Amino acid sequence: MILFMLITGLLAACSEAVSKPGVAPLIELNDGHTIPSLGLGTWLGFTKEGTTAPVKDDSVQKAVELAIDVGYRHIDTAAIYSTEEQVGAAIKKKIAEGVVAREDLFITSKLWNDRHAPEAVVPALRESLARLQLDYLDLYLIHWPVGQFENGTFDLTDYAETWKGMIDAKNRGLVKSIGVSNFNITQLQRLLSMTPVKPAVLQVEVNFNLQQSQLIEFCKMQNIAVVGYTPFGSLFHSKAAPDAPPPRTDEQALLRIADKYHKSVAQVALRYLIELGVIPIPKSVTPKRIRDNIEVFDFQLKRQEREVMKTYDRNYRTIAVTMWKDSPYYPF
């Protein structure tokens, strides 16, 4: 025990970036609130038809319960995922059990594309809150810059108008921080030039094949935190598209690095994103993976190891949603 304390103490003294396993350090946002530096994703993915997979069982609720038990404090959901009810049920249970208090948790949800009218934002957020059984969110995001009515026609409402609805929601105390998702640099710059309230967060895809260095640099300069979705990209054979660039989990260079730290290739991939300054939100409904994915705060990559990983950058998107490419607000 004493030896263990000595070793953890030494580790802590050696590097500030290395912290206790299972605890994601907090990062300060530009509005004064804080966000845990890793979260749990809860999207069940696409069906073959390209729509969001239906929720068939209570696997998301179970996943969120275990995640909270093993130290996650940041959960990512969205109206379109149909998982808000399960996220809410898990939170309610863990608060009732005394495992966490509401203020220890950081809960994100997102405004769907069919609610871009500024006056539609607060009602949409209230519906998310009802499904989550919460009275406030920590973060609400405009899910996409693209608006689209339920009948499929594009809603040409300017996202800068939608943003006014987001500010209204924040002013009413329904959400602590507001931000955007899937905006490109041009769109961010335009929004920043039109509003007095800066987005606190940009959520975009970041992984080995899409490292987003320009976008991350821009956000650092603007003090906008970057949350990285689909953090594993095409790392797993089971998920990778046939044309997806390497690496997979059997890449020799990655296996050598992972072995050295007694970690998996998946954990090394998450650690790389953290060292890029990104907040990853890995999704899993598998207990072992949920546990593993947060055990990435007790080691640090060497510069040469990061340089190897830099070579995997291909500007390749896993989530392109090309069906919206004819919208004037399509970001990619």
Ligand X SMILES: NC(=O)c1ccc[n+]([C@@H]2O[C@H](COP(=O)([O-])OP(=O)(O)OC[C@H]3O[C@@H](n4cnc5c(N)ncnc54)[C@H](OP(=O)(O)O)[C@@H]3O)[C@@H](O)[C@H]2O)c1
Point out which span in 194-202, 273-281, 305-313, 323-331 binds ligand NAG (CB under 6 A).
Answer: 323-331
**Identity of the residue, 92 or 239, whose beta carbon is nearer to ligand X in the bound complex:** 239
Q: Which residues of 88-126 are buried (b: 16+ CB within 10 A; e: fewer)?
A: bbbbeebbeeeeeeeeebbbbbbbbbbbbebebbbebbe
Contact between 282 and ligand X by CB under 6 A: the answer reads yes
Q: Indicate which residue of 72, 81, 316, 329 is catalytic.
A: 81
Q: With contacts defined by CB under 6 A, how many residues of the chain interact with ligand NAG?
A: 10
Q: Is residue 330 annotated as part of the catalytic site, yes or no?
A: no
Partner whose binding site includes residue 289, from ligand X, ligand NAG, none (CB under 5 to 8 Å by kind): ligand X
Q: Which amino acid is at 6?
A: L
Tell which positions 155-194 bind ligand NAG, by CB under 6 A: 184-187
35 forms beta bridges with 27
Out of 213, 214, 286, 322, the only residue in the binding site for ligand X (CB under 6 A) is: 286
Query: How far apart, in Å, do the first and last CA atoms of the chain sit?
Result: 52
Q: Was 143 annotated as part of a binding site?
A: yes
Partner whose binding site includes residue 149, from ligand X, ligand NAG, none (CB under 5 to 8 Å by kind): ligand NAG
> How far apart are alpha carbons 68 and 294 in whole angstroms?
11
Partner whose binding site includes residue 286, from ligand NAG, ligand X, none (CB under 5 to 8 Å by kind): ligand X
**Identity of the residue, 151 or 304, whose beta carbon is nearer to ligand NAG in the bound complex:** 151
> How far apart are alpha carbons 221 and 216 in whole angstroms?
9
Out of 232, 312, 316, 324, the only residue in the binding site for ligand X (CB under 6 A) is: 232
> How far apart are alpha carbons 318 and 229 in whole angstroms?
10
Residue 322 CA: distances (Å) to CA of 103, 125, 287, 325, 332: 38, 27, 33, 5, 9
Tell which positions 116-155 bind ligand NAG, by CB under 6 A: 149, 151, 153
Residue nearest to ligand X (CB): 41
Contact between 297 and ligand NAG by CB under 6 A: the answer reads no
Question: Please, which residues have CB within 8 angstroms of residue 176's CB and are 6 or more apart in sequence?
Answer: 31, 33, 136, 137, 138, 139, 170
CB of 204 to ligand X, least distance (A): 7
User: Could you identify the residue written with the tokens 């809960």?
Assistant: 107
Partner whose binding site includes residue 285, from ligand NAG, ligand X, none (CB under 5 to 8 Å by kind): ligand X
CB of 153 to ligand NAG, least distance (A): 4
**Identity of the residue, 41 or 199, whose beta carbon is nearer to ligand X in the bound complex:** 41
Partner whose binding site includes residue 212, from ligand X, ligand NAG, none (CB under 5 to 8 Å by kind): none
Contact between 266 and ligand X by CB under 6 A: the answer reads yes
> How far apart are alpha carbons 9 and 116 in whole angstroms?
50
Contact between 43 and ligand X by CB under 6 A: the answer reads yes
Residue 26 CA: distances (Å) to CA of 22, 35, 37, 168, 240: 13, 5, 6, 26, 32
**Identity of the residue, 174 or 203, whose beta carbon is nearer to ligand X in the bound complex:** 203
Q: With contacts defined by CB under 6 A, how many residues of the chain interact with ligand X?
A: 25
Alpha-carbon 140 to chain mean position: 12
Point out which span in 28-36, 37-45, 148-156, 170-178 binds ligand X (CB under 6 A).
Answer: 37-45
> How far apart are alpha carbons 176 and 178 in whole angstroms?
7
β-pairing verdict for 26-28 and 34-36? antiparallel
Report helix, strand or coil for 279: strand
Q: Which residues of this chain interact with ligand NAG, rule CB under 6 A?
A: 149, 151, 153, 184-187, 329-331
Q: Which residues of this chain interact with ligand X, rule CB under 6 A?
A: 41-43, 76, 143, 181-182, 203, 229-232, 236, 239, 266, 281-286, 289, 292-293, 319
Catalytic residues: 81
